[in-house]
């Protein structure tokens, strides 16, 4: 992830890549983000939450049954009751897993957690983007958004632009770390992030070049941006794998990252591509690339079974 972002950012310093080709890469990345969020991350996150709930319920049932067995055995030993009769009583008092599950109220909380976590991820990126945009507008005359696209410019917004993209990259790190327990999912998420971060790194460097920043400082900004996602991914991975780790926390992290993916793709990247045309419509080739990007994660995840 680090090398992919860093090398993508070096392209404007070494080559003059056409705007059309970069737009195609951006559209493909947006399609991958949408497809990955809807077809991979959300289903996996929901699956992880329900698996956690089932394991919790099963463990509780097992514990209850052990307590019942221990209690009735003690009664048998103390009162010299016939062992066959005690065995019959044990079976009568055992907790029925199906009955226990049917009366369990954790499902309501799980349903709520799915929607709330998705919305939190979306709102988080909305707040970050809004805050970054305000900082941009307070610093002069050219600005870059969190998808890496240059919008307006200001001569002293370099660190602000980098900061906004670094915060966004951190969300990508959370997404990757939360998917590490499933190789197929991790690969798809990784591909989506790389194809999304490449235009972002490209856009950041292009913005800094147009702002007159010297090449040494540009490389420094690019290095910070490229390191953000891997570092946050490592930190998130360590937290998830620590003593407080649970399948439940992995599911929540995946759903949160899905919310961030949906925001970036639908609010930033796609509208930005459409804004290049007066009718604000995709051209046929761009629409085809977008559809391919959306379907690619589905194809990759077809062979994945829980």
Span of 88-102, 198-212, 217-231 with lowest mean pLDDT:
88-102
Non-local (6+) Cβ contacts of 206 within 8 A are: 12, 150
**Could you give the CA distance from residue 207 to residue 155 in angstroms, rounded to a whole number?**
10
Please name which of 187, 193, 196 lies closest in space to residue 303, comparing C-alpha atoms: 187
Q: pLDDT of 148-172, one tens digit each?
A: 444 444 444 456 556 666 766 777 7
pLDDT value for 21? 77
**Could you give the CA distance from residue 156 to residue 161 in angstroms, rounded to a whole number?**
10
- Domain spans of the chain, in order of start: 2-48+110-301
Locate tokens 């790194």: which residue? 201
In our burial notation (b when 16+ CB lie closer than 10 A, e otherwise), range 282-295 reads: beeebeebbeebbe
Q: Tell me the pTM.
A: 0.60
**Could you give the CA distance from residue 147 to residue 168 in angstroms, rounded to a whole number?**
9
In the predicted model, what is the mean pLDDT of residues 34-56?
A: 75
Span of 31-35, 121-125, 195-199 with lowest mean pLDDT:
195-199
CA-CA-CA-CA dihedral for 68, 52, 126, 155, to nearest 10: 120
3-state percent helix, strand, coil for the chain, nearest multiple of 5:
80, 0, 20
pLDDT value for 119? 92
| Beta strands, E only, the chain | 143-144, 150-152
Q: What is the maximum alpha-carbon separation in the chain?
A: 92
**Could you give the CA distance from residue 71 to residue 107 in angstroms, rounded to a whole number?**
31
* Beta-carbon count within 10 A of 94 CB: 13
Alpha helices (runs of H) in 138-244, residue ranges in sequence order: 158-178, 183-210, 215-240
């Amino acid at each position: 992830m680090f090398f992919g972002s860093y090398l993508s950012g070096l392209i404007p310093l070494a080559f003059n890549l056409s705007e059309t080709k970069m737009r195609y890469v951006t559209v493909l990345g947006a399609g991958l983000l949408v497809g990955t969020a809807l077809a991979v991350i959300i289903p996996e996150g929901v699956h992880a939450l329900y698996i956690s709930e089932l394991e919790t319920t099963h463990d509780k049932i097992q514990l209850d049954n052990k307590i019942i067995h221990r209690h009735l055995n003690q009664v048998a030993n103390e009162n010299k009751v016939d062992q066959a009769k005690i065995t019959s009583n044990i079976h009568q008092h055992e907790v029925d897993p199906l009955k226990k599950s049917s009366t369990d109220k954790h499902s309501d909380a799980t349903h709520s957690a799915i929607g709330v976590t998705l919305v939190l991820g979306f709102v988080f990126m909305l707040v970050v983007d809004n805050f970054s945009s305000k900082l941009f507008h307070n610093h002069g005359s050219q600005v870059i958004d969190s998808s890496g696209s240059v919008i307006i410019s200001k001569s002293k917004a370099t660190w602000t632009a980098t900061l906004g993209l670094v915060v966004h990259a951190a969300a990508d790190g959370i997404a990757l770390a939360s998917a590490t327990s499933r190789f197929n999912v991790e690969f798809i998420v990784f591909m989506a992030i790389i194809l999304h971060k490449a235009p972002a790194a490209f856009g950041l460097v292009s913005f800094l070049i147009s702002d007159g920043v010297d090449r040494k400082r540009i490389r420094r900004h690019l290095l910070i941006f490229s390191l953000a996602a891997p570092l946050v991914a490592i930190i998130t991975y360590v937290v998830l794998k620590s003593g407080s780790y649970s399948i439940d926390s992995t599911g929540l992290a995946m759903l949160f990252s899905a919310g961030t993916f949906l925001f970036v793709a639908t609010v930033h990247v796609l509208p930005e591509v459409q804004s290049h045309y007066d009718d604000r419509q995709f051209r046929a080739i761009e629409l085809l690339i977008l559809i391919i990007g959306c379907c690619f994660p589905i194809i990759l995840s077809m062979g994945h079974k829980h």
